[in-house]
Structure 1
Amino acid sequence: MIDFSLWGAIAIRLGSPWPPMLNEYSWLFLLLPVLCFPAFMVIGLYSAVVRYASLDTIWAIFKATFVASLILCGLVLFRGWGGFPRTVPLLFFTLALPLLCSTRLLIRYCYCSVCRPKSNSAKKVVIYGAGSSGAQISTAFNLSNEFVPVAFIDDNPTLHGRQLNGIKIFNPNKLPELLRKHSPEMVLLAMPSASKSRVKEILNWLEPFPVEVKRLPFLDKLVSNKVGIGDIQDVAIEDLLGRDPIPPRFDLLRSCISGKSVMVTGAGGSIGSELCRQIVRLEPKRLILFERSEYALYHIDRELQNKYKGKVEIIPILGSVCREQRVEKVLSVFDVNTIYHAAAYKHVPLVEYNPIEGIRNNVFGTMKTALAALNCNVETFVLISTDKAVRPTNIMGASKRMAELVLQGLAADGNGTKFTMVRFGNVLNSSGSVVPLFRQQILKGGPVTVTHPEITRYFMTIPEAVELVLQASAMGEGGEVFVLDMGEPVKILDLAKKMIRLSGFTVRDEDNPDGDIEIVFTGLRPGEKLYEELLISDNAVATEHPMIKKAEEKYYPWPELKRQLDSLEKACSNFELEAVRNLMFEIIDGYKPQCDFVDPVWLASNKKH
């Protein structure tokens, strides 16, 4: 191509296919390619895989052609310009650039259109989004055997009717027609820069169509600005919530953490592990991982040590919050300033089956850790609470409300440590969460199990909840119950239907007996209620953060509450469930058990007697 471009440049300039001057400069046809070869190697022209030719390849060709033109000028100058036309190097560049580009693009076209093996199993895809990400992913599809892009759809009316990578762009309203014409198996949402609220709107619009929906990650989750087949992922439940994040206030985030000794109890759990991940990024002096499960502690310690070893002192501690001496020793030795207390039993039916252990861990574990914090002059103690603590119908919720009362009572006693509580609803993809269960049931072909057609829940992502917890902890002065803005409650039945439809299946019910996946109602589980609340009374006040409110709620003076707790501990030790329940009626406003005792040990013991 170099020699052909050189001949063409001289021929065009002199107006003859073989002017006599070619004989005089015939040595250029040998020397120019020889000198250009190593230069092209350095530029990387030969290292690019031709069938994956892209804009980067064209840029490399441009640089190589420019260097070749400079080499041509240098050779002619070395010999002396003489009668050599000065416009030839420019004509050479003008010819060589399109020739080198076209040959590589032609090879790529031949590979994609002729040589690439066809697969009957390749999925037909409609790409939603004809921007740079859509262009990149369609290029990746064209080079793979897994997917075949059949159309683009885009909201921008100026793109409708045009083509991108040889694929026509349509108005989204044309999707039903495209489904009939091409029978695609997937719609891919290729809009990484779209807001979460916009993604939610699109997913709600796509839901009724009988096609699987997948997406590319949001821009902040992409490893680089380039996208490929490996970036395709399932629609996440947080996409259906569509809450655009509010930028955090870093002064609040860092207030109780940066440069301080911080301990997280329950460090290996869903909330506890995310607390550790976010805390370690805020540069504490040290981070103590306090966890009773060896397996969970090993995993979170290994994860953090791999990323932050040498940057932050990370100390894994095996222990139970119910052992006050162990907790106090750890707090004293490591001069802990801040405690995030996430250690708790939180699975409602399991705690209902094991009420005494639930109370011991959630109530007395909190009390003993709080008293240890007082004895060691810990500055800040933050309890991770739950919406199930509001007018509880189960032991888990009741025990968490009692844990709140413990901290409120100690705070009112005014002993130095700042006790704060943060209350929020369900977090997505935590252990025991309904979302992973639904996903697993859908993959198996159903049925999807829902406890009740009217049941609703608040949802929030774990990172979002933890980020707000860290900010709320900095606003507390002692005894406050902070409540996170969870958005609107979600009907679990609607959530199940959305997940089924967005997976490309249809719901089998009375209206559609030939559907793919059935939804089965199993009945409320022990302790479960239809809806959750975040406030006991309607007197929440705003704080300096728009997503955090402060609740003013009833509490007991510590001496009075301590007497009640002593009675409760005695009843637990004697395994007297009736006495335990009566004391909880007495202590907790609005406690209404949803079911009778279901503790299998207590039931079996009563049968024997």
Structure 2
Amino acid sequence: MLLRLFSGMETENAKEIHKIKVAIIGAGRVGVSLAEELINNSKASYTPKVFIDINKEKVGRDIRGIPVWSEDEASLQRLRESEVQEIIFAIPSMDAYKKKTLYEYYKNAGYKLKVYDYPTMYVAGGKRHLREFDIEELLFRKPLVVSDERTNKYYKDKVVLITGGGGSIGSELCRQLAKMEPKKIIILDIYENGAYNVQQELKIAYGNSLDLQIEICSITNRKALRTVFERHHPQIIINAAAHKHVPLMEHN
């Protein structure tokens, strides 16, 4: 212990102790793939402690040394005894109402929740990765289709700037506009994660055929906005920047 303390070296066991312990909902192909990725990556921040599944053929078994519990067996007390700190959803096809029920159950119990899936709920290709649980996934919305011949003609070959482009409304506007062959889409947002996610989604879907630019700044910053306008010369601006928690923001 003294040698490790003064040399800065850590044993594999010591590294495991510092990792975040997670329960994976879903012992199917996606869940097992995630577990294997975490086990095989020594730099991963997470270590899988248990699978939770409803498949009776899997419950009671060990997969890659990880036990599979039923939902009844995975009581909050038992999860705490196993020192589980976060819950990861790894069933992409899960029914929305079931997902909402589980989300509220674990969220109310104080657990952090993540999803092992594509960058956003709309992507149909690319590589799955761990991401924050997007509350929009519980709203049961179907993507809105706004495209028609006149709309397509209006946006085709235009430089379009969308403020709040990484938000729930702005990102859907980006998806719809991408179908209309614009000359360029500029996604402007104050929060980089949302902008990054929709950028990755559209890159996967359209590759180099879509000119997509990201600008991170606030629409209240006149100097930054002037720089964006001078750089891109947008022809159409759609303002979708807005606060979600209006009473809270009004208070502050």
TM-score range, shorter chain: 0.5 to 0.7
Taking the aligned partners of 1:133 and 1:310, their CA distance within structure 2 comes to 29
The aligned residue for residue 257 of structure 1 is: 151
Question: 1:169-211 deviations in whole A, cap 9, x for unaligned?
Answer: 1111222242232111111111122244432222012122232
Please tell me the root mean square deviation across aligned C-alpha atoms, in Å.
Answer: 4.3
Q: Which amino acid aligns with 2:29?
A: S
* 1:342 aligns with one of 230, 238, 249: 238
- How far apart are residue 236 of structure 1 and its match? 1.7
One-letter code aligned to 1:215: V
Aligned match of 1:186 in 83, 86, 95? Answer: 86
Aligned match of 2:25: 128
- In the alignment, which of 137, 143, 148 is matched to residue 34 of structure 2? 137
Contact 2:96 2:140 in 1 (8 A): yes
* Percent of matched pairs sharing the same residue: 19
Q: What displacement does 1:165 show?
A: 1.5
- Equivalent residue number for residue 163 of structure 1: 62
1:312-461 pair list within 5 angstroms: 342=238, 430-434=241-245, 451=248
| Alpha-carbon distance between aligned partners in 2 of 1:199 and 1:283, rounded to the nearest angstrom | 35
- Give the one of 261, 264, 267 matched to 2:161: 267
Structure with a larger share of its residues in helix: 1
* Aligned match of 2:48: 149
Q: State the alpha-carbon separation in 2 of the partners of residues 309 and 188 from structure 1.
A: 30
Q: For 2:139, give the aligned amino acid.
A: G
Q: Secondary structure at the match of 1:173?
A: coil
Secondary structure (helix, strand or coil) at the match of 2:22 reads strand
Structure that is richer in strand per residue: 2
| Cα distance change of structure 1 residues 130 and 254 upon mapping to structure 2, 3 Å threshold | same
Contact 1:151 1:168 in 2 (8 A): yes
Distance in 2 (alpha carbons) for counterparts of 1:224 and 1:309 = 11
Matches of 1:310 and 1:116, distance apart in 2 = 43
Indicate the SS of the match to 1:125: strand
Number of corresponding residues: 196
List alignment gaps of at least 5 residues for structure 2: 1-10, 189-194, 213-234
Secondary structure, in 3 states, of the residue corresponding to 2:80?
Answer: helix
SS in 2 for 1:151: strand
Tell me the residue number matched to 2:217. none
Q: Report the alpha carbon displacement of residue 268 of structure 1 after superposing the two structures with TM.
A: 3.8
- Of the three residues 215, 232, 238, the one matched with 2:130 is 232
Q: Aligned partners of 1:220 and 1:163: how far apart in 2? A: 33
- Segments of 5+ residues of structure 1 without an aligned counterpart are 1-114, 292-298, 315-338, 344-426, 436-449, 452-521, 527-609
Rounded to whole Å, the distance in 2 between the matches of 1:266 and 1:281 is 13
User: After superposition, what is the alpha-carbon deviation per residue over 1:416-451, rounded to whole angstroms, capped at 9, x for unaligned?
Assistant: xxxxxxxxxxx7xx453439xxxxxxxxxxxxxx64
- Mark the CA change 1:186 to 1:280 in structure 2 (over 3 Å): closer, same or farther: closer
Cα separation, partners in 2 of 1:256 and 1:287, compared to 1, 3 Å? farther
Q: TM-score, normalised by structure 1?
A: 0.27
Question: Please, what TM-score do these two structures have when normalized by structure 2?
Answer: 0.59
Between 1 and 2, higher relative CO (CA 8 Å, sep ≥ 6) is seen in 2
Deviation, 1:167, is: 1.5
Q: 1:482 corresponds to which residue? A: none
Residues 311, 152 of structure 1: alpha-carbon distance in 2 compared, 3 angstrom cutoff:
closer
Deviation digits for residues 111-170 of structure 1 (CA, Å, limit 9, x no counterpart): xxxx95541211211111111111111112222353222211112233221222121111
Bigger Rg, which one: 1
